Copies of this chain bind each other. A is one copy, B any other.
Amino acid sequence: MTTPGTTTSPTTGSPTATPRERGIGMRFSLHPHCDDFVAVILGALDDAERAGLTAGLTIETDDVSTWVGAVDEPAEQRLVAYLAAVVAAAHRRSDGGHVVAHVLLSRGCPGEVGCDLSVTGLPRPEPVRVPATGVAAAAQWSLYPLLDGGSDDGAHMAHIERAIAQAVERGTTRGAAHYATRLSGDVAEVLATVADAWGDVGSAVAHVVSHLTLSVGSPTAVPR
């Protein structure tokens, strides 16, 4: 995959750096659990595009997932609005069936493997505000601050703990699981919880990644 416009610029890290310069984006895969999954996926992507939600984003779909890079502000808002619409559309197009999205949110590593970011002057994004989709989700969420300025060993855990405390206050958390925090709520609210935490930690840490497995329309707990 080519990566246009992802070269780290000298202004990266300054408050005026664009979302693209700060490498803000996501990669997601969409899994409708139905025979006509191809039509559901393509239809859901089209629905979100026709709703105008691809504005300010660069989108590339490959054989495993879809990359969405934020070009314009508000970056986090655009990403969440687009993804919430895609998931809700896939749910609707599969007649309320089981759809899972796996999401990787990333900021601070635009040049793929190599990172060469200044950690000064990281802006704190505005909280995401996206209308409820009407679709309830259960999710498992992990947050990884990766470039925390050489602070002591446990420093990145403080960022995670603060982010989780904010999610608890918001009412979307259902407690901890192994390696993840359990979330539930409207698709839009769950995604906003995750994006806000990611953006918040990103105001203190240059390279922050978050993973989310988001499930809608699941049959009740698998008997196992």
What is the interface of chain A, defined by CB distance below 8 A to chain B?
1, 3, 6, 25, 27, 29, 31-35, 37-38, 41-42, 45, 60-67, 69, 98, 100, 102, 104, 106, 109, 112-115, 119, 138-140, 142, 144, 146-147, 149-154, 156-157, 160-161, 164, 175-182, 209, 211, 213, 215, 218-222, 224
Total copies of this chain within the assembly? 2
Q: Are A33 and B29 in contact (CB under 8 A)?
A: no
Query: Majority SS of interface residues in chain A?
Result: mixed
Q: Are B150 and A29 in contact (CB under 8 A)?
A: no
Q: Are B178 and A25 in contact (CB under 8 A)?
A: yes
Give 11 A-B contacts (CB < 8 Å), ordered by A residue: A1-B178, A27-B178, A31-B33, A32-B33, A38-B219, A66-B224, A104-B180, A113-B161, A115-B154, A142-B209, A211-B211
A65 to B138, CA, bound (A): 11
> Which B residues touch A60, using CB under 8 A?
224
Q: In this complex, what residue of B is CB-closest to A156?
A: B146
A153 shortest CB reach to chain B, Å: 5
